[in-house]
Structure 1
Amino acid sequence: MTPVLQAQGLVKAWGGNRAVDGVSFELAPGEMLALIGPNGAGKSTCFNMLNGQLRPDAGTVRLGGRDITGWAPRAIWRQGVGRTFQVTATFGSLTVLDNVRMALLSHARRLLGLWQPAAGLMTREAEELLERVGMADQADRPCGILAYGDLKRLELAMALANRPRLLLMDEPTAGMAPAGRLALMSQTAAIARAAGIAVLFTEHDMDVVFNHADRVLVLDRGRLVAGGAPAAVRANPLVRQIYLGGMAD
């Protein structure tokens, strides 16, 4: 089976400092892969190369076997990649439902090559997506008044509107209460595994990582220093030294 995502030898340098230094990994359909490490380890830089915000200085990114290295984010989106961000990216003046409609319209343009301006377009599908992430009861509320945890769930619905084969989630639970973090990732894992969506996520909450990841990769100073099953990574002496510390227990 062809991996959904293949990163090979990714390098990104700023001046003489290599923020990402030779990172390689693969991601299978339906797999939840966590990328963790200290602040400044290179996680966001790596994400931005995968999603086209940054062009690698070296290395390749393949999606379903196709080389997408250096493609623009909009072109990568149209290949079936969803993305959520550390700071939520929603339209604050629009309702929850209209935000999801906007994402669905973008997906429809990819499929149909045109915009369809009908007022009721895709409302049912938008409502179904909101139901899946637990936001159906807030469909008519403006995004500008939502609690932060609800914005995170809405952003997930917008990413799912692209019917992705790959979902990139950069600190998906940042700013949320502990119970909300676990609930959001439980929803994400259930949706991804049922639909065969590959998920790569960064996260500082180790309860989220070790409860939901199938595999964990550890970055330190731009290099992968460990990887494997959550229990093995948790017990790795080097990982405990550079990142987990007391959190390992």
Structure 2
Amino acid sequence: MSLLQVQQLSKSFGGVAALEELSFALPAGQMLALIGPNGAGKSTCFNLINGQLRPDRGEVLLDGQSITGLDARRIWRRGVGRTFQVSAAFSSMTVLQSVQAALLSHHRRLWQLWRPADSLFRQQAMELLDQVGMAAQAQRACAVLAYGDIKRVELAMALSNAPRLLLMDEPTAGMATQERQALMALTRRLVNERGIAVLFTEHSMDVVFAHADRILVLARGQLVADGAPAVVRADARVRELYFGSGASFGGAA
């Protein structure tokens, strides 16, 4: 059984269909890219899975159990982590404190913020920072970090609830090429070590084709392709509907 199952998921806004009868499955240990032009329905799909929106029709199953209609907090507690296009790191806190805050939330102890909470879950936070290569910068303020390092801190925060499924919304947006590849290589290592599943949206095709095990292509709220990168790259319908006839897959879309 796949870890994540999306079944005939549909959502409309003001009579306009943002997502129509979307179905797919995602097993543990796989990185699945969700791509498509602006307005294709990618963000709507993420927000339905994450509980920020309720579907008009359809169902979302996590490890065989329905999470349809649950709010984002309850879904997070079921083991679904998420990173955002705009970083959620706390600029007024240090790197260590930001991850500690995420751990406090996971353990339902936010009422203890901030002192003496400064000493709580310190070791766990340092272990997470070590996994993302940020332990050496634990005492630095998030406000002074380079953008790529902020993304690493956000990833550590997303891992604080030991997620089985990680949703990454434009994880490399605003990053230089080397930073993009490094972050996704790190994500791949975490997938392999933890056996988690990753669903990510991405506009940089170099990232998608270098790191995704499988690619879903949406256009106007409908699934138009689902397959391995080589299969999607060669799909004539994808070229026509998403990239434009004859367009290259080598750059950002």
Helix, strand or coil for the counterpart of 2:68?
coil
Conserved 8 A contact 1:30-1:197: yes
Deviation track 1:73-110 (CA, whole Å, cap 9, x = no partner) reads: 0000100110001111121101110000011112223x
2:150 matched residue in structure 1: 151
Alignment of 1:194 onto 2:204: no
CA positional deviation for 1:72: 0.5
What residue identity is the alignment partner of 2:3?
V
1:218 matched residue in structure 2: 217
Q: For structure 1, which segment, 26-35 or 237-246, has the greater mean C-alpha deviation from structure 2 after superposition?
A: 237-246
Helix, strand or coil for the counterpart of 1:119?
helix
2:171 matched residue in structure 1: 172
Distance in structure 2 (CA, Å) of the matches to 1:104 and 1:248: 40
Q: For structure 1, which segment, 41-50 or 234-243, has the greater mean C-alpha deviation from structure 2 after superposition?
A: 234-243
What residue identity is the alignment partner of 2:198?
V
After TM superposition, the structure 1 = structure 2 runs for residues 21-36 of structure 1, keeping only pairs within 5 Å, are: 21-36=20-35
1:244 matched residue in structure 2: 243
Distance in structure 2 (CA, Å) of the matches to 1:124 and 1:244: 47
Identity value in percent: 62
- 5+ unaligned residues in a row in structure 2: which ranges? none
CA positional deviation for 1:114: 8.9
CA positional deviation for 1:135: 1.3
Helix, strand or coil for the counterpart of 1:141?
coil
Deviation track 1:107-157 (CA, whole Å, cap 9, x = no partner) reads: 223xx9996955322111211111111212211111122222111111111
What residue identity is the alignment partner of 1:230?
P
After TM superposition, the structure 1 = structure 2 runs for residues 128-143 of structure 1, keeping only pairs within 5 Å, are: 128-143=127-142
What residue identity is the alignment partner of 1:247?
S
Distance in structure 1 (CA, Å) of the matches to 2:174 and 2:52: 23
1:126 matched residue in structure 2: 125
Distance in structure 2 (CA, Å) of the matches to 1:115 and 1:73: 22
Helix, strand or coil for the counterpart of 1:161?
helix
Alignment of 1:61 onto 2:60: yes
1:90 matched residue in structure 2: 89
Conserved 8 A contact 1:30-1:194: no
Deviation track 1:183-239 (CA, whole Å, cap 9, x = no partner) reads: 000000110122110100000111111111111000000000001001000111111
Helix, strand or coil for the counterpart of 1:219?
strand
Distance in structure 2 (CA, Å) of the matches to 1:9 and 1:166: 20
What residue identity is the alignment partner of 1:162?
N
Distance in structure 2 (CA, Å) of the matches to 1:15 and 1:229: 35
**What is the alpha-carbon root mean square deviation over aligned residues?**
1.7
Distance in structure 2 (CA, Å) of the matches to 1:194 and 1:217: 24
Helix, strand or coil for the counterpart of 2:119?
coil
CA positional deviation for 1:243: 2.5
Alignment of 1:208 onto 2:207: yes
Distance in structure 1 (CA, Å) of the matches to 2:36 and 2:117: 46
Conserved 8 A contact 2:97-2:118: no
Distance in structure 1 (CA, Å) of the matches to 2:41 and 2:16: 11
Distance in structure 2 (CA, Å) of the matches to 1:247 and 1:74: 40
After TM superposition, the structure 1 = structure 2 runs for residues 69-108 of structure 1, keeping only pairs within 5 Å, are: 69-108=68-107
Helix, strand or coil for the counterpart of 2:217?
strand
1:41 matched residue in structure 2: 40
Q: How many residues align?
A: 246
